[in-house]
Amino acid sequence: MFLHQLFTLAKPLQAIGRIALYRGLIDRGLLHVVEWAFRRREAPILHTASEILTFTLEHDTNAVRHHILKEHDADATTLLTEMIGIQGLTDNTGLASHLSDSIRHLLDIPHEGEVS
């Protein structure tokens, strides 16, 4: 919950500051925390992790993609696999929809000249 509050407090920061914050957190294991939360089955934890992932994807999609590829290369369970697994297990349509949007965002390929 602390990380969620941190992300909420970071919204009014200028874009450069927000991006630096997200990259710093990703470099220090933020996505491992999200994966841990996705392995839990408590709804508030799942929703919070989903929102944190969304904030992260909005600011640095490529870092999340890179994290997933590193996990795949290490033959570990990937963040993407965790997200798909939750969709198959949850009856919560809001959470499933939120995760679907995140998966779509991860799989979207930016057009030439577009930065993601």
For residue 20, tell me if it sits in a domain: no
Contacts 24+ apart (CB under 8 A), 68-73: 68/106
The verdict on residue 112 lying in a domain is: no
Q: Check: CB of residue 71 under 8 Å from CB of residue 52.
A: no
Q: Please check whether residue 77 lies inside any domain of the structure.
A: yes
| Residue 58, in any domain of the structure | yes
Amino acid at 21: L
Domains: count for the chain: 1
Helix (H, G, I), strand (E, B) or coil at 72: helix
Task: Tell me the pLDDT of the chain (116 aa) as tens digits.
Answer: 677 777 777 777 788 888 888 888 889 999 999 999 999 988 899 999 999 899 889 888 999 999 999 999 999 999 999 999 998 888 889 899 999 999 999 998 876 666 55
* Helix-helix angle 30-39:15-27, to 10 degrees: 70
Q: 14 lies in a domain?
A: no
3-class SS of residue 96 = helix
Domain span at 83 = 2-7+34-107
81 part of a folded domain: yes
